[in-house]
């Protein structure tokens, strides 16, 4: 044990998580956790990477009967170990603020590295994801098959069901997660630290997403557990964040179901240092709203882009568009803003600082359902659900598909069917893709079947995004979007 402890301590020293003065203090907590009675510090003869060190410690914990050998219990326990090595929140915040004063980018660089060093971001899992780019008529789209979330076995799911929820922390985004030990239903967060940030309208905190869907994928969470709400405060906060962190973009999901993210109960935004396909989109019209210049984008989701050096002007114009959209109706295109008191129209806003000025994308959304489309009219239609049936949220809106891990195996089987290695009707595990595979089999296939199949996945993703667009990118839809811009001009300002 002495050797593994020393390897772990050496790792923490190398990563700057602890200092020489902390060695005995940390070691004593480790020997307590593992029921040992002594420790001798020595520089380990061999070094090892963190996942290997933790795996060895977890094997000991299982042998000692402390945990069962399930992913949930392993994750709970190795986070507890990492919690021993993670500096206190106040120290982390002080370090971030000191760096921020020199250079905001240095502060986020350090905090991103720190979030990996503590194993809060499990990079070795993120690296399992399959990423590729596909051509499309809009822009090259990015696809990620998400293999980083380990699948739970039925035994674990049953155990989670028996666990009584305490309603603390209220959700995964609450600030009370910092240092939380977790349970069968809620991940451990002893190694989690957040950075408080004052935005124009309210107290927020910065953290990274443990799933890292794109580079430096961060989350800005309200320090209070309050529902999502897109209003003037949101716009002011988004611009204020980009003013404080000009190297990061930021956006928000809508504040209504179906066309937003998965967490509506806790006000939050998502940002990062990433370039998204939507930034490559071309435009079909130049517009001017309230003194701000902009474009209507050729993009599967209906997007108005405005830019100006003055954020105040963009906030006012954005609010003007949001208010007008909430009232806008176009029966011919199926756009109905409200039924039985339920609002259907909403906006996904994205803000960035680019070429010396601010830029905002306002993506028009509508969450109405019908008898034909009970999941949503402007939502992936049933014939595409075999690839994606979840909500089209902020990340997809920007042209990055996050597809379920099951697709990896399914695509391998489809590839074998296309290569005539197995007949389609014997490939039971791809039953849900049958129609799609039949359509593809009728196409011309080159020798690069794997590559061509990726392009087909990308084409499906584009179709899914097109379903979510309120104004379709044909001449009727584009004319409809122009009519909406005319409507904004006549709509009263706040």
Residues forming contacts to Zn ion in the complex (CB under 5 A) are 170-171, 173-174, 225, 266
Handedness of CA 16, 21, 22, 24 (dihedral sign): positive
Report the residue number, 208 or 328, with the smaller CB distance to Zn ion. Answer: 208
b/e burial code for range 164-191 (CB count within 10 A of at least 16 → b): eeeeebeeebbbebbebebbbebbbbbb
Minimal distance, residue 225 CB to Zn ion, in Å: 4
Minimal distance, residue 393 CB to Zn ion, in Å: 17
Minimal distance, residue 266 CB to Zn ion, in Å: 4
The two counts, helices (H) then strands (E), for the chain are 15, 15
| Furthest C-alpha separation in the chain | 78
Minimal distance, residue 324 CB to Zn ion, in Å: 31
CB 304 within 8 A of CB 362: yes
Residues in the chain: 494
CB 110 within 8 A of CB 92: no
d(C-alpha 39, C-alpha 64), whole Å: 19
Minimal distance, residue 180 CB to Zn ion, in Å: 12
Helix axes 2-14, 71-85, angle to 10 degrees: 60
Minimal distance, residue 226 CB to Zn ion, in Å: 8
Report the residue number, 186 or 266, with the smaller CB distance to Zn ion. Answer: 266
CB 109 within 8 A of CB 214: no
d(C-alpha 315, C-alpha 266), whole Å: 23
CB 171 within 8 A of CB 224: no
Q: Which residues contact 249 (CB under 8 A, 6 or more apart)?
A: 242, 271, 272, 273, 274, 276, 350, 351, 352
Report the residue number, 108 or 207, with the smaller CB distance to Zn ion. Answer: 207
CB 270 within 8 A of CB 217: yes
Report the residue number, 264 or 453, with the smaller CB distance to Zn ion. Answer: 264
CB 269 within 8 A of CB 220: yes
Minimal distance, residue 173 CB to Zn ion, in Å: 5
Minimal distance, residue 233 CB to Zn ion, in Å: 18
Report the residue number, 128 or 225, with the smaller CB distance to Zn ion. Answer: 225
Report the residue number, 186 or 344, with the smaller CB distance to Zn ion. Answer: 186
d(C-alpha 81, C-alpha 20), whole Å: 19
Minimal distance, residue 196 CB to Zn ion, in Å: 15
Minimal distance, residue 194 CB to Zn ion, in Å: 12
d(C-alpha 106, C-alpha 206), whole Å: 15
Report the residue number, 234 or 316, with the smaller CB distance to Zn ion. Answer: 234
Q: What are the structure tokens assigned to 258, written together?
A: 């179906």
Handedness of CA 59, 60, 61, 64 (dihedral sign): positive
d(C-alpha 89, C-alpha 190), whole Å: 11
Handedness of CA 347, 469, 299, 270 (dihedral sign): positive
Report the residue number, 174 or 377, with the smaller CB distance to Zn ion. Answer: 174
Report the residue number, 81 or 173, with the smaller CB distance to Zn ion. Answer: 173
Residue 222, H or E segment:
strand 218-222
Report the residue number, 171 or 336, with the smaller CB distance to Zn ion. Answer: 171
Minimal distance, residue 77 CB to Zn ion, in Å: 25
Report the residue number, 175 or 368, with the smaller CB distance to Zn ion. Answer: 175
Choose among 26, 81, 37: nearest CA to 57. 81
Q: How far is CA 432 from CA 385, 412, 435, 462, in A?
A: 9, 14, 8, 19
d(C-alpha 25, C-alpha 13), whole Å: 13
Minimal distance, residue 9 CB to Zn ion, in Å: 35
Report the residue number, 221 or 315, with the smaller CB distance to Zn ion. Answer: 221
């Amino acid at each position: 044990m002495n050797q593994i402890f020393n390897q772990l301590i050496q790792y923490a020293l190398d990563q700057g998580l602890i200092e020489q003065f902390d060695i005995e203090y940390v070691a004593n907590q480790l020997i307590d956790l593992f029921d040992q009675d002594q420790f001798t510090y020595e520089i380990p003869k061999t070094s090892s990477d963190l996942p290997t060190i933790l795996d060895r410690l977890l094997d000991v914990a299982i042998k000692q009967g402390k945990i069962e050998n399930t992913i949930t219990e392993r994750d709970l326990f190795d986070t507890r170990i990492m919690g021993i090595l993670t500096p206190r929140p106040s120290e982390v915040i002080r370090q971030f603020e000191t760096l921020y004063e020199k250079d905001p980018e240095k502060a986020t660089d350090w905090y991103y590295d720190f979030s990996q060093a503590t194993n809060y971001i499990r990079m070795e899992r993120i690296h399992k994801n399959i990423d590729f780019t596909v051509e499309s008529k809009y822009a090259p789209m990015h696809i990620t098959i998400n293999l980083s979330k380990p699948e739970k076995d039925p035994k674990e799911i049953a155990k989670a069901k028996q666990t009584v929820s305490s309603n603390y922390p209220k959700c995964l985004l609450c600030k009370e997660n910092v240092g939380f030990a977790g349970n069968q239903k809620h991940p451990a967060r002893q190694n989690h630290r957040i950075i408080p940030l004052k935005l124009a309208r309210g107290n927020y905190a910065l953290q990274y997403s443990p799933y890292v869907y794109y580079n430096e994928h961060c989350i800005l969470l309200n320090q209070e557990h309050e529902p999502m709400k897109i209003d003037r405060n949101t716009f002011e906060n988004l611009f204020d964040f980009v003013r404080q962190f000009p190297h990061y973009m930021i956006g928000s999901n809508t504040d209504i179901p179906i066309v937003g993210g998965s967490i509506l109960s806790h006000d939050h935004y998502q940002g990062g240092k990433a370039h998204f396909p939507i930034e490559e989109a071309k435009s079909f019209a130049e517009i001017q709203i309230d003194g701000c210049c902009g474009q209507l984008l050729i993009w599967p989701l209906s997007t108005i882009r405005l830019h100006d050096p003055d954020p105040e002007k963009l906030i006012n114009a954005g609010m003007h568009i949001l208010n007008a959209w909430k009232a806008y109706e176009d029966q011919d295109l199926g756009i109905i803003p409200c039924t039985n008191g339920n609002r259907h129209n909403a906006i996904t806003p994205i803000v960035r600082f680019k070429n010396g000025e601010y830029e905002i994308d306002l993506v028009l959304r509508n969450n109405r359902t019908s008898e034909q489309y009970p999941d949503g009219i402007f939502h992936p239609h049933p014939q595409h659900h075999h690839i994606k049936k979840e909500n089209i949220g902020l990340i997809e809106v920007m042209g990055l598909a996050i597809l379920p891990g099951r697709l990896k195996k399914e695509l391998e089987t489809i590839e074998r069917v296309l290569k005539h290695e197995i007949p389609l009707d014997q490939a039971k595990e791809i039953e849900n893709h049958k129609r799609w595979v039949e359509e593809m089999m009728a196409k011309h296939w080159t020798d690069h079947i794997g590559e061509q199949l990726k392009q087909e996945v990308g084409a499906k993703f584009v179709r899914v995004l097109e379903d979510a667009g309120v104004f379709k990118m044909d001449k009727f839809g584009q004319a409809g979007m122009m009519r909406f811009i005319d409507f904004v001009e006549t709509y009263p300002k706040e």
